[in-house]
């Protein structure tokens, strides 16, 4: 199975160089937000057929919101959402455009082999 994570700051159209695992792995779960200074993120996990760096087809997308207090190293990670309407609502038009372009550029054969349902998630209105 092939998988890749794109971690965006909530309002930015280009993902960070770090993944969700890099940023949130060593954080503690926050019990409430009182006294926290939270930075918001959107994490996109893409799965597919293929090996490590070479997907042959994209099959699933999951998106979740996350918030992190960098100074206190505590975070809120929401559950992964995998329904099409949720994904379309959570991603900004710029994020959809970035992801669609990344798939077409970095793995055009996998993009072409993917179902229409998958490709439609990254159409911008």
DSSP labels for 14-54?
Answer: S--SS-HHHHHTTPEEPS--TT--PEEEEEEEEEEEEETTE
Which pTM value belongs to this model?
0.91
- Rounded to a whole number of angstroms, the CA Rg of the chain reads 15
Q: What is the per-residue pLDDT for 70?
A: 86
**Pairing status of strand 2-9 against strand 28-29:** unpaired
The CA distance from 103 to 80, in Å, is 21
Sign of CA dihedral 107, 113, 114, 116: positive
* Cα-based torsion angle of the residue sequence 24, 55, 105, 4 in order, rounded to the nearest 10 degrees: 0
Helix (H, G, I), strand (E, B) or coil at 67: strand
Confidence tier at 125 by pLDDT (50, 70, 90): low
Q: Does residue 7 register a pLDDT over 90?
A: yes
Which of 9-13, 32-36, 45-49, 63-67 shows the lowest mean pLDDT across its residues?
A: 32-36
Asked if 63 contacts 87 with a C-beta cutoff of 8 angstroms, the reply is yes
Q: What is the per-residue pLDDT for 26?
A: 86
Confidence tier at 28 by pLDDT (50, 70, 90): confident
Q: Does residue 124 register a pLDDT over 80?
A: no
Residue-wise pLDDT tens digits, 42-99: 999 999 999 878 899 999 999 999 999 988 989 999 999 999 999 999 999 999 999 9
| DSSP conformational letter for 5 | E
Q: Give me the mean pLDDT over the 16-31 stretch.
A: 90
Q: What is the per-residue pLDDT for 119?
A: 94
């Amino acid at each position: 199975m092939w998988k890749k994570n794109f971690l965006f700051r909530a309002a930015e159209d280009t993902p960070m160089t770090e993944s969700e695992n890099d940023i949130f792995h060593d954080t503690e779960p926050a019990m409430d937000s009182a006294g926290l200074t939270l930075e918001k993120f959107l994490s996109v996990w893409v799965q597919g057929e293929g090996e490590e760096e070479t997907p042959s087809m994209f099959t699933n997308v999951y998106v979740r919101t996350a918030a992190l207090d960098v100074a206190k190293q505590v975070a809120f990670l929401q559950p992964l959402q995998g329904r099409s309407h949720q994904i379309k609502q959570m991603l900004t038009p710029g994020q959809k455009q970035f992801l669609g372009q990344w798939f077409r550029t970095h793995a055009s054969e996998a993009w072409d082999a993917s179902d229409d349902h998958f490709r439609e998630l990254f159409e911008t209105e």
